[in-house]
Amino acid sequence: MNYVLNQGFRLGVRPTRGHGDVHFVTREDVDGRTLVLDEHSSALIEILLRDQPYEPDAADVEVLERLVLEGIVSKTNAKKSPPQFQAENLQFWVQTSDRCNLACTYCYIPSLNSAKARRSDLFSLFGRKLLGVKGLKSVSIKLAGGEPLLSFQDWCAEVIKLRETLAEADIRLNARIITNLTFLNRSIVEYIRANDIGVSVSLDGLSANNDRNRVFPVSGHGSFHIVKKNLKVLRESGIKPGVMITATSENSAGIHELVESLVKEDLIFRFSDAKGGHIRPREFEIAFADVKQTLARAVAAGYPVSKRIVVSDLRTLEPQTTPCSMGTTGGALYLDGSVYFCHTEFEKGSPLGSLDEDVGLLDIIRRGYKKHLGLSMDCRACEYRFVCAGGCPLFRVNGKSPMCSAYKKIIPQIFDLYDEESARV
C-alpha cells in the first residue's frame, strides 16, 4: 500500500517561545487545516514529499494511518471507506441538570434553568457508546450544570455504575465536579472522598470582589461567605479542590488578592477571561500583570507555577493547533442525549448528533472539528499560533480571538515564570 500527501499541504517549522521549533503540516486555503507533528510524523511527510517509492514498516504504517484519519495523507489503490477514528483518551462535559441557584453576570450556559429533565438512560447509553470507541484507555468527564450538586442524588450512583462498566473493559473513568460550592453536605463530601472524584470550584475573588458577579437571584446577595465555609469543609476532609477564576471588568482589579490566597493554600487554579465581551483585553492584561507579581514572588520561594496555574485556553505546556479538545477528542453531552461541540451551545446551537445514532461516538465528535478552522492570516503567521491557537472558535471575530492583544502580552510573561521556575530546579 502506498501513501501520498494530499494536495495543498506543506510542511512548516515555527520557532515558538517556550516550545522551541514546532513542526507542523498545513494546507494553504481558507480553512487552513493544520496539524502539529512529532519527529516521526514529520520525517514520514518529508519522505512522501520526495515522491519516491519506499516500504513503510509497522511503526510507519501506524503513524501514516493516523495522518490518513486527519485528512493529511491518502492511500493509493485503496477502496473509499469512511474513516475509522480511534482515540486513547476522551474528554466530556456532562450536563447533569440545568437547574442553578446563582445568577452570575457572565453565565455562558444558554439552557440554564430550563425545565428539561435528564433522560433516565443517559449514563448507560453513554457507557455503551464509549465501549465502542477503538483504542480507548481513559475517559475524563466534568459533571456540570447548572449546579450539579443540587441534583447529586439523581446522578451519583450512575457515575459509579459507568466507572464499573468501563473498568470491565480496562478503561479508566476520571470524574470531576464543576461546582459553585454553595451547596454541600456530608453525603457529598463522603462520596467525593470515597470515590476519588475531583472538584473544581468557581470563585472570582475574595469577599466583595467575588460577589460583584456571583450572586443569588432573589436576594442579590453574594456567595463568597458560603463558598469560603464549604471550601474549609473540603480541605478539613482531605479534599484538595481546584479553583476556576473568571475575570470580568467588575472583578479583574482584585483577582491578584485571591491568587495570593490560592498560592498559600497550594491549590491548582485556572485564570480565564470571561467570554462574550465581559472584559476588555487591556483589563485582562493588567489583571494578569498583577497576578504575575504574586506568582513571581512565589516562584522565587520554590512554587511550581507550571504545575499549578492554567491561563485561559493557552497551550503553554504543549503546542497544539486547537485551544481545546472539542471536535477532536472532546464533546458536551446534554440532558436528552444530544452531543454538542461545546456546552456554551446547549439549546442555542445545533447538536453534532445524538447518542441514539447508529454511528460511533468519535464520528459524532469529529463533525465539530471544522469549527476550529478558518483562522485569520494574522493568526496563522503569529509566533504564538500553537499557544493561543486562535482562542475559542465560538467567540472569534474575523478569524481571531478578541483577546489577541492581551494574549500576546501575557504569553511571554507566562514563559518568563516558567524560565524562573526551571532556573531554580
Interval 316-373: pLDDT, tens? 999 999 999 999 999 999 999 999 999 999 999 999 999 999 999 999 999 999 999 9
Provide the Cα torsion 232, 241, 180, 196; round to 10°: -110
Same domain flag for 189 and 269: yes
Chain CA centroid to CA 415, Å: 20
Same domain flag for 151 and 269: yes
Same domain flag for 194 and 305: yes
How high is the pLDDT of residue 78?
A: 63
Same domain flag for 17 and 135: no
How high is the pLDDT of residue 79?
A: 66
The DSSP secondary structure of 335-389, one letter per residue, reads TTSEEES-GGGTTTS--SEETTSSS-HHHHHHTTGGGG----HHHHH-TTHHHHT
Same domain flag for 284 and 350: yes
- Which DSSP letter does residue 297 get? H
Same domain flag for 67 and 145: no
CATH classification of the domain holding 234: 3.20.20.70
**Global pTM value:** 0.94
The Cα–Cα gap between 172 and 352 comes to: 25
Interval 165-197: pLDDT, tens? 999 999 999 999 999 999 999 999 999 999 999
Q: Does the pLDDT of residue 418 top 70, yes or no?
A: yes
The Cα–Cα gap between 363 and 361 comes to: 5
How high is the pLDDT of residue 54?
A: 80
Range of the domain at 359: 89-315+326-365+403-424
Same domain flag for 196 and 283: yes
How high is the pLDDT of residue 88?
A: 96
How high is the pLDDT of residue 113?
A: 95
Q: What is the mean pLDDT of residues 158-167?
A: 98
Please report whether residue 183 resides in a domain.
yes
Q: Does the pLDDT of residue 230 top 80, yes or no?
A: yes
Q: Does the pLDDT of residue 81 top 70, yes or no?
A: no
The Cα–Cα gap between 273 and 280 comes to: 9
SS3 10: strand
Q: What is the mean pLDDT of residues 277-287?
A: 97
Q: What is the mean pLDDT of residues 299-321?
A: 97
Q: Does the pLDDT of residue 1 top 60, yes or no?
A: no
Interacting residues of 255 by C-beta distance below 8 A, sequence separation 6+: 204, 205, 209, 245, 247, 271, 287, 290, 291
Interval 88-133: pLDDT, tens? 999 999 999 999 999 999 999 999 999 999 999 999 999 999 999 9
Please report whether residue 240 resides in a domain.
yes
Overall domain count for the chain: 2
Please report whether residue 380 resides in a domain.
no
How high is the pLDDT of residue 10?
A: 92
How high is the pLDDT of residue 236?
A: 97
Q: What share of the chain is helix, strand, coil (3-state, %, to 5)?
A: 40, 20, 40
Please report whether residue 390 resides in a domain.
no
Same domain flag for 43 and 110: no
Q: Does the pLDDT of residue 254 top 60, yes or no?
A: yes
Same domain flag for 78 and 147: no
Same domain flag for 63 and 164: no
Domain's final residue, options 83, 102, 132: 83
